[in-house]
């Protein structure tokens, strides 16, 4: 019996800043008979690779304008993404206005965080705040019942495998997972922008504290063995537990990380070699010396440096 939740991909909109794996992905879509719609530099890359591409300006019948600030913000694009395929009134509406459905949206966002990290001036950072990208992603994710949204090159292979397994269609489970990832990505992106604006205004305590963090690892257990825990990192390059690399040993627990963080942060208070011994986040031996071995001996003996 056919799966009623399968949705064939006949038309895809691709607009990416990170072009990793782009050409191979688009070529695979084309082999499935998917019509490609694209924008700006993405379209140029695909055309140079020999792919047939319909540029967004020909879809909207309106040129890209304002230095690319406006290109996909148009009913001919968003109508094709947001139309519910099972709703006759939706389908009648897009047919009436000559809008073709878009079944897959592959978009990743302007590199705002990377632009800030390289120390770019204020105006350049502002220009790297993506507007059309998040709008496309959110539209496709909202209509995930019918549309697949791909926000990272790492997901290309899974989408292609799904289409290969289902004769060019995607299943609802995959579309839902991609939608969850999409909303998380746009939320994290907005969080990064909000934090940057707060720093520009020297706000130590903004009215709304918005934090985005990525899962680094699931932990063996929480503060107690019957509890679950996970370790999330915010992306700061600051040295510490979040940027440390585990070289050996079994998976860490919450208490392992908590103790390690307490020891590291206390040792970092000193400008000379320091050694901290911690149990349950409480320092039980701290010493400084001319070298780490001497500091270790002192800390272990609980001697004052």
Q: What CATH topology corresponds to 214-300? A: Cytidine Deaminase; domain 2 (3.40.140)
Q: How is the chain classified by DSSP, letter by letter?
A: ---TT-EE--EEEEE-S--TTHHHHHHHHHHTTPEEEE-HHHHHHHHHTT--EEEHHHHHTS--BTTTTBSS-SHHHHHHHH--TT-HHHHHHHHHTTPPP--EEEE----HHHHHHTT--HHHHHHTS-SHHHHHHHHHHHTTTT-EEE-SGGGHHHHHHHHHHTTTEE-HHHHHHHHHHHHHHHHHHHHHHHHHHHHHTT-SS-SS-----EEEEE-S--SSTTS--EEEE-----SSGGG----SSS---HHHHHHHHHHHHHHTT-SS-EEEEEETTEEEEEEE-SSHHHHHHHHHTT---
pLDDT tens digits for the chain (305 residues)? 568 788 899 999 999 988 999 999 999 999 999 999 998 889 899 999 999 999 888 888 887 778 777 777 888 899 999 999 989 999 999 999 999 999 999 999 988 888 888 889 999 999 999 888 999 999 999 999 999 999 999 999 999 999 999 999 999 999 999 999 999 999 989 988 988 888 888 888 888 888 888 888 888 888 888 999 999 888 777 888 888 888 888 888 898 899 999 999 999 999 899 999 998 888 888 999 999 999 999 988 875 54
Catalytic residue ranges: 142, 280
Whether 7-200 and 214-300 share one fold: the answer is no
Class of CATH domain 7-200: alpha beta
Domain ranges of the chain: 7-200, 214-300
């Amino acid at each position: 019996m056919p799966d009623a939740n399968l949705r064939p991909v006949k038309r895809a909109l691709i607009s990416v800043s990170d072009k990793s794996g782009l050409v191979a992905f688009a070529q695979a879509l084309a082999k499935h008979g998917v019509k490609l719609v694209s924008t700006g530099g993405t379209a140029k890359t695909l055309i140079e690779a020999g792919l047939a591409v319909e540029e967004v300006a020909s879809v909207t019948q309106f040129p890209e304008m304002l230095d690319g600030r406006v290109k996909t913000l148009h009913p001919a694009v968003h109508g094709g993404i947001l139309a519910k395929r099972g709703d006759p009134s939706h389908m009648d509406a897009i047919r009436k206005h000559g809008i073709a459905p878009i079944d897959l949206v592959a978009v990743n966002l302007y590199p705002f965080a990377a632009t800030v990290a390289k120390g770019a001036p204020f105006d350049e950072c502002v220009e790297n705040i993506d507007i059309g990208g998040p709008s496309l992603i959110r539209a496709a994710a909202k209509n995930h019942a019918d549309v697949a949204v791909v926000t990272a090159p790492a997901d290309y292979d899974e989408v292609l495998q799904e289409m290969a397994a289902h004769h060019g269609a995607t299943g609802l489970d995959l579309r839902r997972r991609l939608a969850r990832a999409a909303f998380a990505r746009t939320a994290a992106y907005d969080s990064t922008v909000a934090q940057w604006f707060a720093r520009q205004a020297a706000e130590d305590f903004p009215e709304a504290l918005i934090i985005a963090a990525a899962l680094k690892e699931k932990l063996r257990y929480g503060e107690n063995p019957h509890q679950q825990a996970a370790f999330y990192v915010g992306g700061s390059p600051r040295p510490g537990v979040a940027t440390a690399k585990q070289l050996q040993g079994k998976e860490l627990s919450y208490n392992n990380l908590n103790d390690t963080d307490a020891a590291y942060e206390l040792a970092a208070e000193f400008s000379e070699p320091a050694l901290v011994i911690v149990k349950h986040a409480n320092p039980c031996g701290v010493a400084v010396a001319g070298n780490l071995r001497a500091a270790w001996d002192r800390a272990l003996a609980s001697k004052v440096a």
